[in-house]
A and B are shown apart, each in its own frame.
Chain A
Amino acid sequence: MQKYDALIVGGGHNGLVTACYLQRAGLNVLVVEKNGWVGGAATSRELTPGFLYSNCSYVCSLFRPEIMRDLELPKHGLQVISYEGGAVFTRDGDYLASYRDHDSHRREFARYSKRDAEAYERYARDVTRQCRFIQPLLMRTAPDPFGFRPRDISELLYLAKKFGEFSPHEMAETLRFWTMSISDFLDEYFETDVIKAYLALSGIIGTALGPMSPGTAYVLLHHYMGEVDGSVGAWGYARGGMGAVTQALSRSFQASGGTIRTDAEVSKILTRGGRTTGVVLANGDEVRADLVVSNADVKRTFLKLVEETDLPGDFVHRVKHFKMRGSSGKVNIALDSLPEFPALPEGSNCIRGDMHFTDSIERMERGYDDWKAGRWSADPFLDMMIPTLLDPTMTSPGKHFMSCFVQYCPPKVEGRDWTDADRDAFAETVISQIADYSPGFRDRIVHMEVRTPREIEAEVGLTEGNIFQGELTFDQLLFNRPVPGYAQYRSPIHGLYMCGSSTHPGGGVMGAPGRNAAAEILRDLKRSPEQMSKAHDVI
């Protein structure tokens, strides 16, 4: 039986990133993926003829450019394109638009409040300052304060130094930023409801918290620290859908000699004497490997794939209580023509950006109230986009793919499992919200893929359908992610590593966890990570 140097459990973007780096460093790497395709939550599948969807994740900003370059992803077909604008539709038939042009953006805000229009600069400055502090931390292994190894101490010092570059005033800001609710934070800058609702969205996306919950201001930061070609905070589309990211990764991996096995679900990670020896697949096949790297989330990895008896009790306890609550759903829609939004001026570029219908923080918070009661939001908030307006590769001309991210959506419905009828009713709340603002919308629908946390967990494997493999709150970040003492991609079992979004620096199609995990593995193997370039400077 063939034995691999390293075996990656799960072909999501982070698993593939780790696989690529290890293979390029000379290891013989196998990726096993339970689905018939790779990609995890970054996939583009054609579920109805002539339409490619971005089935889960749908926009790209966080994916680290260093990784794209190291792994030659452009050569393997990856192209990320910027998009422009966006809008929140208001209930009185108006809208608040967002424009890339600085002055247009200000004038649009000024329609609602001259004060808010001029406050935006200060808000953007403060957010950017915080992003500049966090960005360099993304591509570094978090220090382990439990370790007291020279490296951990120097990493802690690095953190302290970065922090020390701030004025005392900014330090105070940082602590506030990492702990405040996005609603309180925005109140300090803005007075207009719809403006706050528009900006708050990034604070709660994918998170089982409401805009008034402490900790949501950081979630917003997490969404601002990406970039498109150096334009920090900008978002773009992967040409061909988000599957293009993982397709490029898998081609890069295979081009360097790596092996991918699809339709190969891991049922058990094998251990002997506190050390991993490989995995058993669902079909009973055993695959042996010196190292096993799990791209699955921390709960799935240690509560389902590893024998609990092989793990320290405290660790298991921590993993069980790692917050990974499903909070969102996704509706992907194939349209035979471009929907109309009469509120927008004709020819508006808002339609090429992200569109929302939730015009107040209060409505968002009410939506969260429904989630707490175990129901999907009766008045959900949507992050809706039509990537086919900029990406000609996903449908034929004139036809469109619409991606609707939907929040909130609970992992269980009032304590019981989802049924198909629930799923259809959930989809109906989404469609009817869109139809309220877009006459004739229903008639344009050719096909729909509706994904509640049930579908996301069943297909992608994310526990409870949590898109970040664990919430991005301060208690679950840096050396506390996923478990204190195990924040450096290693686990209590020798040779078993983690590389998914459950690890530092967390979720989103960023690739940093996968890269950092590969760096730690190569360190343990005493191999120099030659093919891994340093994180770009933040100057």
Chain B
Amino acid sequence: MNAMTKSAADLRRAARDHIRVPRLETPFHDRLMAISEVNDWYNWAGYKAPHSLTDGELEYFAIRSTAALFDISPMVKYRITGPDAERYLNRLTLRDVRKLGVNRVHYTAWCDDHGHVLDDGTLFRLGVEEFRLCCQERHLPWLLDSAFGFIVDIREETEEIAGLALQGPTSYAVLRDAGFAGMERLKPFDIATFPHEGGEVTISRTGFTGDLGYELFVPRARALSLWDRLWTAGALHAIRAIGYGALNQTRIEAGFIVANADFMTAEAALRADRVRMPDEIGLDWLVDPDKPNFNGRRAILDARRNQTLKHILVGLEIEGNISAEHAIVYHRQKHEAGLVTAAIWSPTAKRNIAIASLERPYGSKFTNDLWVEIYAMRELKYQKMMKRAKIVPRPFVKLARRTATPPGLK
């Protein structure tokens, strides 16, 4: 016991120098730094991350036309293991984890007792009793407290595991040429593991772009060699490293939401009316009322039954080509109906698209005669516009190559 305490104190001391690098560098930083022409960094959960590396527009087209490499290491990662891991996660999250097979991934979300969404994320089933949960925000106290009564081990592993997203039409070709054999059999949300430099790399057919794509996870020490392996193989397939700006465009096209951008997470919301239930942010399809009890179940089902849901998240198509980011949505150009949380001109759909949070009955009962008021700053003057908006289904861009198995080479 004494020896253990001592080593804990030693570890604590050894970690003191974290303050010398207040903005951490990801395991891939050396490669990103070498590529970066514009030094356009932002702070992603305490890490230095590129907003763009060379040219945001060209980076976007790498995702949609060739292969794009995006560093997802700062994403928060928890490893959840133990005999009760499945039962625990089933209690914690909205979807039925019993239906999640080994070597499969699903997108899910989890709520507090009031049915308010704490975060959304992807759950990787790496084994019968082994899972990885990836998300935007940090939840360790919540995950630990929720484990009461379950035999389960929960560990935060964000810094230990490096992650890369390889997305775009030639991403399969890159992996094949990098020597990852059998990738063609991977269906969307499948996971496979491969040897890499004496260790293992986990590859899943997942992504945040709505395109053909994969995510690769590897222990920190093997990060750079994995990058190099992809980079070398990617040369013939026009691989390009990208920053968040390009990724964000594609995720809007794919209709994906981002925590604390498109909705406030329950633990971040200071104002009581800012929290959201799954049905209020378009995540109603994740809720499985038929599975055993899960956190927030009663509140969510009560709200459905009593029709007390206050908000709704919708996809909008807006006339014209001026992006409506953070514009106010009106009904009949008069009554405030909500807010646009994300918007772009979609280069792929050639439409002006947006994700908006509306206050019911706007968006539920009143779905027509919606408008957005756009303030476009042009040479130090706001050009004010009232543009018609139409509710449309998400995703805005649906690509056959995303799900084609075997995947195409280009």
Please provide the chain B residues from 225 to 274 with a CB less than 8 Å away from any CB of chain A in the complex.
267-270, 272
Contact of B16 among A94, A103, A117, A122 (CB under 8 A): A94
Q: Which of A76-99 contact B (CB under 8 A)?
A: 92, 94, 97, 99
**Cα distance A101–B20 when bound, in Å?**
12
A122–B156 touching, CB < 8 Å: no
Whether the pair B270, A128 counts as a contact (CB closer than 8 A) is yes
- Of A110, A111, A132, which one neighbours B270 at CB under 8 angstroms? A132
> Does A534 make an interface contact (CB < 8 A)?
no
* Interface hits, B263-304 → A, CB 8 Å: 267-270, 272
**A102 pairs with B19, CB closer than 8 A:** no
Given A112-B12, A167-B272, A345-B17, check contact A118 B140 (CB 8 Å).
yes
- A221 CB to closest chain B CB, in angstroms? 15
Contact code string A102-118 (vs B, CB < 8 Å = 1, else 0):
11101110111011011
Q: How far, in whole Å, are A461 and B244 apart by their CA atoms in the complex? A: 60
B270 lies within 8 A of A103 (CB): no
A104 touches B9 (CB 8 A): no
Least distance between A333 CB and chain B CB atoms (Å): 27
Contact B114 A119 (CB under 8 A): no
Interface range for B: 20 to 34
> Is B141 an interface position by the 8 A CB rule?
yes
B1-31 contacts to A, CB under 8 A, are 9, 12-13, 15-20, 22-24
Question: Within residues 99 to 150 of chain B, which ones have a CB less than 8 A from any CB in chain A?
Answer: 114, 137-141, 144
**Contact of B17 with A166 in the complex, beta carbons under 8 Å:** no
Interface centre among A99, A107, A129 (most CB of B within 10 A): A107
SS class of chain A's interface: helix, strand, loop or mixed?
A: helix
Interface assignment of A187: CB less than 8 Å from any CB of chain B: no
Contact B268 A102 (CB under 8 A): no
**Count of interface residues, chain A, beta-carbon cutoff 8 Å:** 33
Query: Is A414 in contact with chain B by the CB < 8 A criterion?
Result: no
Known: A345-B16, A345-B17. A107 touches B141 (CB 8 A): no
A464 shortest CB reach to chain B, Å = 38
A345 to B272, CA, bound (A): 41
Is the pair A101, B22 in contact by a Cβ cutoff of 8 Å?
Answer: yes
Which of A103, A125, A166, A170 is the most central at the interface, judged by chain B CB atoms within 10 Å of its CB? A103
Find chain B residues with CB under 8 A from A99 CB. Answer: 19, 22
A107→B9 contact, CB < 8 A:
no
* CA distance in complex: A104, B43 (Å): 12
A169 contacts chain B at the CB level, 8 A cutoff: yes
Residues of A within 8 A of B114 (CB): 167, 169
| A328 to B144 alpha-carbon distance, docked (Å) | 40
Shortest A184–chain B CB gap in Å is 17
Tally of contacts, chain A with chain B, CB under 8 A: 73
A121 touches B267 (CB 8 A): yes
Q: Of the candidates A111, A117, A122, A128, which one forms a contact with B12 in the assembled complex, judged by CB atoms under 8 Å apart?
A: A111
Residue contact B272 to A103, C-beta cutoff 8 Å: no
Q: Mark B172-201, 1 if CB is under 8 A from A, else 0.
A: 000000000000000000000000000000
Interface membership of B45, Cβ < 8 A:
yes
Q: Does B46 belong to the interface (CB within 8 Å)?
A: yes
Q: Which single residue of chain B is at the shortest CB-CB distance from A165?
A: B272
Any chain B CB within 8 A of the CB of A528? Answer: no
Question: Which residues of A are found within 8 Å of B19, using beta-carbon distances?
Answer: 97, 99, 104, 107-108, 345, 348
Q: Indicate if the CB atoms of A121 and B22 lie closer than 8 Å.
A: no
Known contacts A114-B140, A118-B141, A129-B270: A102-B16 contact under CB 8 Å: no
- Rounded to whole angstroms, the CA-CA distance of A101 and B137 in the bound complex is 17
* Pick from A111, A125, A166, A167: contact of B267, CB under 8 Å: A125
Point out the residues of chain A lying under 8 angstroms from B17, CB to CB.
345
- B18: A residues at CB distance < 8 A: 104, 107-108, 111
Contact, CB under 8 Å: A119 / B141: yes
When C-beta atoms are compared, the residue in chain A nearest to B273 turns out to be A165
Are B12 and A115 within 8 A (Cβ)?
Answer: no
CB neighbours of A110 from chain B (8 A):
15
A125 lies within 8 A of B268 (CB): yes
Task: Please tell me if the beta carbons of A103 and B45 are within 8 angstroms of each other in the complex.
Answer: yes
Which one of B9, B12, B20, B268 contacts A121 once the chains associate, using CB atoms below 8 Å? B268
Query: A111 touching B140 by the CB < 8 A rule?
Result: no
| B46 near A115: Cβ-Cβ < 8 Å | no
Min CB gap A539→B, angstroms: 9
Q: Which residue of A lies closest to B8 (CB)?
A: A112
Which of B16, B20, B24, B141 lies in contact with A115, CB distance below 8 A?
B141
**CB closest chain-A residue, reference B114:** A169
Residues of A contacting B22 in the complex (Cβ-Cβ under 8 angstroms):
99, 101, 103-104
Within 8 A of B (CB), among A244-285: none
Complex Cα–Cα for A510 and B16 (A): 36
**Binary CB contact string for chain B from 22 to 61 against chain A (1 if under 8 A, 0 otherwise):** 1110000000000000000001011000000000000000
**Which one of A106, A122, A167 contacts B46 once the chains associate, using CB atoms below 8 Å?**
A106
Determine the chain B residues whose CB is within 8 A of the CB of A118 once the complex forms. Answer: 138-141, 156
Chain B residues within an 8 Å CB radius of A108: 18-19
> Does B15 contact A111, Cβ atoms closer than 8 Å?
yes
List chain A residues, Cβ under 8 A from B156.
114, 118
**A118 CA to B20 CA, complexed, in Å:** 21
User: What is the CA–CA distance of A115 and B154 in the complex, to the nearest angstrom?
Assistant: 11
How far is A166 from B23 in the complex, measured between Cα atoms in Å? 36
- For the complex, what is the distance from the CA of A167 to the CA of B115, rounded to whole Å? 14
A102: which B residues are within 8 A, CB to CB? 46
Say yes or no: B144 contacts A115, CB within 8 Å: yes
Contact residues in A for B45 (Cβ distance below 8 Å): 103
The smallest C-beta distance from B3 to any residue of chain A, in angstroms, reads 15
Q: Across the interface, which residues of B come within 8 angstroms of A128, CB to CB?
A: 270
Compute how far the CA of A1 lies from the CA of B46 in the bound complex, rounded to whole angstroms: 69
Min CB–CB distance B77 → chain A (angstroms): 13
Q: Mark A431-446, 1 if CB is under 8 A from B, else 0.
A: 0000000000000000
User: Which chain B residues border A106 with CB–CB below 8 Å?
Assistant: 46, 138
In the complex, chain A residues whose CB is within 8 Å of the CB of B138: 106, 117-118, 121
Q: Which residues of chain B have C-beta atoms less than 8 A from A348's C-beta?
A: 19
Nearest A-chain residue to B158, judged by Cβ: A114
CB-defined contacts of B141 to chain A, threshold 8 Å: 115, 118-119, 122, 189
Residue of B nearest to A107 (CB): B18
- Give the shortest distance, in Å, between A485 (CB) and chain B (any CB): 34
With a cutoff of 8 Å between Cβ atoms, the chain B residues found around residue A92 in the complex are 9
Note all chain A residues with C-beta closer than 8 A to B269: 125
CB pair B46–A94 under 8 Å, yes or no, is no
- The distance in angstroms between the C-alpha atoms of A122 and B17, with both chains bound, is 26
A445-468 toward B: CB 8 Å interface, digit per residue (1/0)?
A: 000000000000000000000000
Q: Which of B13, B19, B46, B138 has the most chain A CB atoms inside 10 A of its CB?
A: B19
Residues of A within 8 A of B15 (CB): 107, 110-111
Shortest CB-to-CB span from A182 to chain B, Å, is 19
User: Which residue of chain B has the shortest Cβ distance to A116 in the bound complex?
Assistant: B141
- A436: shortest Cβ distance to chain B, in Å? 19
**B 283-327 to A, binary, CB cutoff 8 A, 1 in contact else 0:** 000000000000000000000000000000000000000000000
Q: Please indicate the chain A residues that have their CB under 8 angstroms from the CB of B268 in the complex.
A: 121, 125
The interface residues of chain A lying within 8 Å CB-to-CB of B13 are 94
Minimal beta-carbon separation of B105 from chain A (angstroms): 24
| Residues in B whose Cβ lies below 8 Å from that of A94 | 9, 12-13, 16
Docked Cα-Cα span, A345 to B20, in Å, equals 9
Say whether A125 contacts B270, CB under 8 Å: yes
Which residues from A are CB-within-8-Å of B9? 92, 94
Contacts of B23 in A (CB 8 A): 103
A-B contact pairs, 17 of them (CB 8 A): A94-B13, A103-B24, A104-B18, A104-B22, A104-B46, A107-B19, A107-B46, A108-B19, A111-B18, A114-B156, A115-B144, A118-B140, A121-B268, A125-B267, A125-B269, A167-B272, A345-B19
A-B contact sample (18 more), CB < 8 A, given A111-B16, A167-B114, A169-B114: A94-B9, A94-B12, A99-B19, A102-B46, A103-B46, A104-B46, A106-B46, A107-B19, A111-B12, A117-B138, A117-B140, A118-B141, A121-B137, A121-B138, A121-B268, A132-B270, A345-B17, A345-B20
Per CB-CB distance, the 10 closest pairs between chain A and chain B, nearest first, are A103-B46, A118-B140, A118-B138, A119-B141, A107-B18, A111-B15, A111-B12, A104-B22, A167-B272, A101-B22
